[in-house]
Amino acid sequence: MQRRGWDELDIVLINGDAYVDHPAFGAAVIGRVLEHAGYRVGIISMPDWRNPDSVTVLGKPRLCFGVTAGNVDSMLAHYTAFLKKRHDDPYVPGGKTGGKPQRAVIVYCNLVKAKYKDVPIIIGGIEASMRRIAHYDYWSNRVRRSILLDSRADMLVHGMGEQAIVTAAQRLQTGANLQGIPGTVCISATQPDGAVLLPVEEDVVASKKAFSECCRLFYRHQHELMVQPTGKRFLVHNPSPAISSAELDSIYELPYVRAPHPSYSEPVPAFDMIKYSVLAHRGCVSGCSFCSLSLHQGKRIVSRSKESVLREVALLAERTDFSGHITDIGGPSANMYGFQCKKNWRCKRESCTFPQLCPNLQFATESWLDLLERARQIRNVKRVTIGSGIRYDLFLRDPKGRKLLRKFIRNHISGQLKIAPEHTSPRVLRAMRKPPQFNLNEFVQLYREINQQEGKRQHLIPYLMSNHPGCEMREMQTMKQDIRREFGFVPDQVQSFIPLPMTLSSVMYYTGSDPLTGESFPIARDLRTKQKQHRIFFEKPAKRHR
């Protein structure tokens, strides 16, 4: 601030993670976007939540504080599926736990309120986004009201938030109110006209029936204006704005340093994992019931231009520590780069793949592979591989999928390929809203045949899940047999299901049924039952005695 001649900041962002100035880290993106819009921005990372003075180190901001827990929900960062304390946190220097509090958004807002009662607070990030309405909280085993109310913030930004935060800053600059900004949740004294009415929040918190109905309405109308009575006020949910490819290009080409803050003496593990990967698109067409991605980013796939992605690859390739290996070009939704919709995403389906594949979905696997090939031709780049894995069934539902799989196997795998069938039980897969779009056995055989023909030894690594609604002991035992038969081994990559806030799976876990279909599923809730189910994959076969 002294070097820039600033005596105050416009906006101070408080972040629960280490500060890594890279486009894969939310606080960095919001900071750069606001800076690009002309605002003076400072970031306080991992403030001491036991000391209110820790939020005063950059002074009182002129417009507002922005508060985020970081890249993951702070409760998920603290506890495993079996409610045991985690021993590491990849988003802090050295990977050590203890860098942020539980329920970080609420705690940080309380710190700000203790020191600056008159400064507006805007909350955002995954923790705020996925707790924006009444939601089941696994860690307290109850339905909690909107985090906007518990944090006493002035506005909540859901989703990725770049457009909403700039609009909010402009409103604060001119003294206008924060109501009605797309992609936000606010409290209003009056009920807006034409909004979908959700059940009263107090009823939703107290009744499973009302909670299930609230979730049903929310999922069916999440792209419309919604309102929920709470006390004598109204919680107003404004749908997310659409973002264009050109806007996405401009966000990802801001002047990120692409490094952790120099004050850290230890590396940040999460950065090391994605240091030479490139985010190419947003959104997810799948809408799997256990996943937050489509609720946070939307089902609409918005892709960066190839030229923008290639410029970022060229930038990485000029770094002095670059080894020649780009480890990913894609996103959390894997190989969905370039996917389009014949109806321009204008429908009320929560998923483009459930219960059947939507005929309006248009694949673009060839375009994605062309992007990988062009990146491979950039100076200093020796290899471009996909470390995060692929959605194998969508890859092969592409009309050109079989032909393209050979090209992918030949050039873009680094020893092993991750896939996530999640389960083999039809009942569990239905509860997950993830029916396979292509036969797993056929894919495994095809993958092996092509590798053999290409003279390569590249393994398949399946990721699986235990304890999801619909899964009982017999489903786990059958899955173990199925996976051993398909892959020839029993993998270690088995994750126990965690009911993440606002996901359909969390609603099923709490109520026992899918709020959209009314189907009931058996639920493993007791910790001993969960551990027993999870351990099936790690049990050694009994030795036979003569």
DSSP string, 198-209: PPPHHHHHH-HH
Residue 543's pLDDT is 56
Is position 261 within any domain? no
Measure the CA–CA gap between 164 and 31, rounded to whole angstroms: 13
Measure the CA–CA gap between 113 and 306, rounded to whole angstroms: 45
End-to-end CA distance of the chain: 78
Is position 270 within any domain? no
Could you write out the three-class secondary structure of 339-402?
CEECCCCCCCCCCCCCCCCCCCEECCHHHHHHHHHHHHCCCCCCEECCCCCCCHHHHHHCCCHH
Give the closest residue to 498 by CA, choosing from 476, 537, 530, 536: 530
Q: Which pair of tokens denotes residue 100?
A: 């942020």
State the maximum Cα–Cα separation within the chain, in Å, rounded to a whole number.
Answer: 85
Is residue 69 domain-shared with residue 136, that is, in the same domain? yes
The CATH number of whichever domain residue 525 belongs to comes to: 3.30.750.200
How many structural domains is the chain composed of? 3
Please classify residue 542 by burial: count the beta carbons closer than 10 Å to its beta carbon, then call 0-12 exposed, 13-18 middle and 19+ buried: exposed
Print burial letters for 17-31: b (CB count within 10 Å at least 16), e (below 16): bbbbbbbbbbbbbbb
Residue 435's pLDDT is 92
Give the closest residue to 498 by CA, choosing from 157, 218, 83, 132: 83
Is position 401 within any domain? no
Cα–Cα distances (Å) from 353 to 208, 517, 518, in that order, read 28, 16, 19
Residue 98's pLDDT is 82
- DSSP H or E stretch at residue 162: helix 162-174
Is residue 65 domain-shared with residue 120, that is, in the same domain? yes
Structural domain ending residue among the three candidates 387, 406, 438: 387
Is residue 382 domain-shared with residue 485, that is, in the same domain? no
Measure the CA–CA gap between 187 and 206, rounded to whole angstroms: 21
Give the closest residue to 518 by CA, choosing from 434, 430, 421: 430
| Cis amide prior to 355 (ω within 30 degrees) | yes
Residues constituting the chain = 546
Backbone angles phi, psi at 95, to 5 degrees: 70, 25
Measure the CA–CA gap between 414 and 401, rounded to whole angstroms: 20
Check residue 214 and report its DSSP letter. Answer: H
Is residue 370 domain-shared with residue 436, that is, in the same domain? no
Measure the CA–CA gap between 151 and 149, rounded to whole angstroms: 6
Q: Hey, which residues does 229 pair with through a beta bridge?
A: 234
Q: Which pair of tokens denotes residue 148?
A: 């906007």
Is position 45 within any domain? yes
Measure the CA–CA gap between 130 and 133, rounded to whole angstroms: 8
| pTM > 0.85: yes or no | yes
Q: Hey, which residues does 247 pair with through a beta bridge?
A: none
Is residue 345 domain-shared with residue 464, that is, in the same domain? no
Q: Which pair of tokens denotes residue 437?
A: 């779009």
Please classify residue 287 by burial: count the beta carbons closer than 10 Å to its beta carbon, then call 0-12 exposed, 13-18 middle and 19+ buried: buried
Is position 80 within any domain? yes
Conformation bin of residue 361: beta by default, left when phi > 0, alpha when psi is -120 to 50: beta
Is residue 429 domain-shared with residue 338, that is, in the same domain? no
Is residue 432 domain-shared with residue 380, that is, in the same domain? no
Is residue 106 domain-shared with residue 217, that is, in the same domain? yes
| Number of CB atoms found within 10 A of residue 497's CB | 24
Measure the CA–CA gap between 537 and 539, rounded to whole angstroms: 6
Please give the chain's pLDDT, 546 residues, in tens: 999 999 999 999 999 999 999 999 999 999 999 999 999 999 999 999 999 999 999 999 999 999 999 999 999 999 999 999 999 999 999 998 888 999 999 999 999 999 999 999 999 999 999 999 999 999 999 999 999 999 999 999 999 999 999 999 999 999 999 999 999 999 999 999 999 999 999 999 999 999 999 999 999 999 999 999 999 999 999 999 999 999 999 999 999 999 999 999 999 999 999 999 999 999 999 999 999 999 999 999 999 999 999 999 999 999 999 999 999 999 888 899 999 999 999 888 899 999 999 999 999 999 999 999 999 999 999 999 999 999 999 999 999 999 999 999 999 999 999 999 999 999 999 999 999 999 999 999 999 999 999 999 999 999 999 999 999 999 999 999 999 999 988 888 899 999 999 999 999 999 999 999 999 999 999 999 999 999 998 887 655 555
Give the closest residue to 369 by CA, choosing from 400, 332, 324: 400
Is residue 103 domain-shared with residue 204, that is, in the same domain? yes
Measure the CA–CA gap between 305 and 388, rounded to whole angstroms: 21
Residue 250's pLDDT is 98
Is residue 224 domain-shared with residue 313, that is, in the same domain? no
The CATH number of whichever domain residue 53 belongs to comes to: 3.40.50.2300
Is residue 303 domain-shared with residue 438, that is, in the same domain? no
Residue 99's pLDDT is 83
Is position 43 within any domain? yes
Q: Which amino acid would we find at residue 253?
A: E
Domain holding 158, by residue range, is: 11-237
Is residue 378 domain-shared with residue 308, that is, in the same domain? yes
Give the closest residue to 505 by CA, choosing from 488, 485, 491, 519: 519
Residue 331's pLDDT is 84
Is position 229 within any domain? yes
Structural domain ending residue among the three candidates 387, 402, 423: 387
Is position 293 within any domain? no
